[in-house]
Amino acid sequence: MTEASRSARREPTRLLVVAAAGYGKTTALEAALGDGDSCHQADDLLRSLAVLPPGDRLYVDHLERLSIAQQEDLMRRLARLGPDVQLTVASRSPLSASVRALMPGPVFERGPEDLALSPEGVAGVLRDEHGVDGASWASRVHAITGGWPALVQFAGDALSRGHGGDLLTTLGQS
């Protein structure tokens, strides 16, 4: 398959990422950035959106910081993007039906289950960021946190300071 035929077959995506604080939405957006891409805070973008930023991809973070009316305004402006621009929007809270209807589509949605760390990911965070090794700790932390990255970090910090056993027992009982 040639590059041209691959490009013609690839649909530009509209991706909506919705998850609570601590799930790594901003980290995921930043990891997806390519050369020349930038991640824009929704409130900053709304203020400066007289001209949309150039590029093939646009990343918008923290949509929840805007009022519903502002979110609708931003979505109307983003709907003017050409069909070849890939758009990713992240929010801590679900979009209202009126805002979601204005997001240019088709829209693919990702949520907490897509951002949660796998058992292997938990093991990597505990080992690499907190110096805590051992499959039993990783398994226990994953079972208690469901892979929520912020809680994994919290548990890893407690484990690295020798306070993890009691903490994980307490968390597991709640």
Locate the domains of the chain by residue range. Answer: 3-115, 119-173
10-residue averages of pLDDT along the chain (174 residues): 45 82 86 79 77 72 95 88 83 94 86 92 94 89 91 88 70 57
44-79, pLDDT tens digit by residue? 887 776 556 556 788 899 999 999 999 999 999 888
Q: Look up residue 11 and give its two tokens.
A: 């649909």
- What residues are paired with 87 via a beta bridge? 14, 58
Architecture of domain 3-115 in CATH? Answer: 3-Layer(aba) Sandwich (3.40)
Asked if 72 contacts 100 with a C-beta cutoff of 8 angstroms, the reply is no
Instruction: Cite the DSSP H helix spans in the chain.
Output: 3-9, 25-32, 42-47, 68-78, 97-102, 112-115, 119-130, 135-145, 149-160, 164-173
CA quadruple 111, 114, 115, 117: dihedral, nearest 10: 140
